[in-house]
Structure 1
Amino acid sequence: MSYTGDVTAGGPADVRELPDLTISKVEVGDFGNNAYLLRCRETGDGLLIDAAADGTRLLELIGDMPISKIVTTHRHQDHWGALAEVAAATGAETVAHPLDAPGLPVPVTRPVEHGDRVTVGVVTLEVIHLRGHTPGSIALLYQDGHLFTGDSLFPGGVGNTQGDAARFEQLIGDVQERVFARLPDTTWVYPGHGKDTTLGAERPSLPEWRSRGW
């Protein structure tokens, strides 16, 4: 079966096999959060994006193979509900932007800024700071083709800015400049909740998003 990104709470992981990286997506928690396990195919090292909830489920997903890092995309509690449990069980580095780090339940051992690189085995991911949903929201980019966006970009729009016009302008500006302006339409988007999408599917709607203000 080919990867679709369609997962359900309690259901199996959807797994995408890339030449250098395996991506496993699961849904956890009461808010339909997505968690992503990235594993380097050469070394076996792993990286978890958003230990959102259900630590037992996430540790089962990780299994007996190591993970060296847990990346938290932003400070909202539904994205770190199992962070302390998974970090304690795995000994993994905790990674987040310093502006959101104070809102997390464990110390951030690896603060990252826009343009920084995070490795998993021999694979390198680029950090993209997308300000607006929270001050320190980040996305992770792999090879200009796979973008893990947290709650900053979804099918149908950018993340919630609670009706704050300044925050919305910051987020839509960052998404346009730092994502759509530099990445191809084929880039696959892995969001923090719900179904996946591509930049090509969303690009025609950018003017509508900006005009509606959310």
Structure 2
Amino acid sequence: MSYTGEVKVGGAPDVRELPALTITKVAVDEKMSNNCYLLRCNDTGEQVLVDAAASSETLLPLIGAGGLSAVVTTHQHWDHHRALADVVRETGATVVAGEPDADAITEQTGVAIDRRVSDGDTVAVGTCSLEVIRVTGHTPGSICLLYRDPTGHPHLFTGDSLFPGGVGGTFGDADAFVSLIGDVETKLFGTLPDDTWFYPGHGSDGTLGSERPHLAEWRERGW
């Protein structure tokens, strides 16, 4: 069956097989319904997890005997790293996070950040590479991860910075919203094509092309 990105907590993961990279999406925690993404290099078997959000009892069997080279936390909010300590303890994975959010993640989880990343950095998944894009606003150090599939369209993991229907919340902070919508417009929509498929931290996936016509509307409404 083809990948849809529609997952439910307690349900089966959805798996997308690209020529070089396999993307497995799973939802965890009934209350928050976070998405976690396990990325596996098809050449080497190396794996990277995007957001150890919760439910290590779900994530660790998904990771399996192949182990984990790194776990990337997209931002500092509590619901995106509740299983981080368990996953790192069991796998020994390198811990990656955006520079301005790193200390907060450590304070909340007790897990040291091994790599503090920002624009221009990359995270290897075997022979594949994820480009780090810092998008400031939902939190100071939120990051997106971009995989440029050499045989198809780009794939973008957006955390809580971009969803179908709008950008992430900025909790009434007007300056943070201006920063977030500016970075999303410039760094994501301004550089990537319409067929870019994006994978958010909650809910369904989307494409930049479907959302692009609404950018002015988002800016006007202020959220």
Class of the TM-score when normalised by the shorter of the 2 chains: over 0.9
Structure 2 match to 1:175? 184
Superposed displacement of residue 67, structure 1? 1.1
Q: What per-residue deviation string (whole Å, max 9, x for no partner) do you get for residues 61-91 of structure 1?
A: 1011121000000000000000000000000
User: What do you get for the CA RMSD once the two structures are aligned?
Assistant: 0.7
Superposed displacement of residue 163, structure 1? 1.4
State the distance in 1 between where 2:113 and 2:196 align: 29
Q: Which stretch has the larger CA shift, 101-110 or 36-45?
A: 101-110
State the distance in 2 between where 1:59 and 1:197 align: 27
1:1-214, aligned counterparts within 5 Å?
1-29=1-29, 30-104=31-105, 105=109, 106-143=111-148, 145-214=154-223
Q: TM-score, normalised by structure 2?
A: 0.95
Aligned length: 214
Segments of structure 2 that go 5 or more residues without pairing to the other structure are: none
State the distance in 2 between where 1:66 and 1:121 align: 12
Q: Secondary structure at the match of 1:53?
A: coil
Q: Secondary structure at the match of 1:100?
A: helix
State the distance in 2 between where 1:44 and 1:92 align: 14
The amino acid that maps onto 2:207 is T
Q: Is the 8 A contact 1:44 1:66 kept in 2?
A: no
The amino acid that maps onto 1:69 is A
Q: Secondary structure at the match of 2:118?
A: coil
State the distance in 2 between where 1:53 and 1:86 align: 10
Superposed displacement of residue 164, structure 1? 1.0
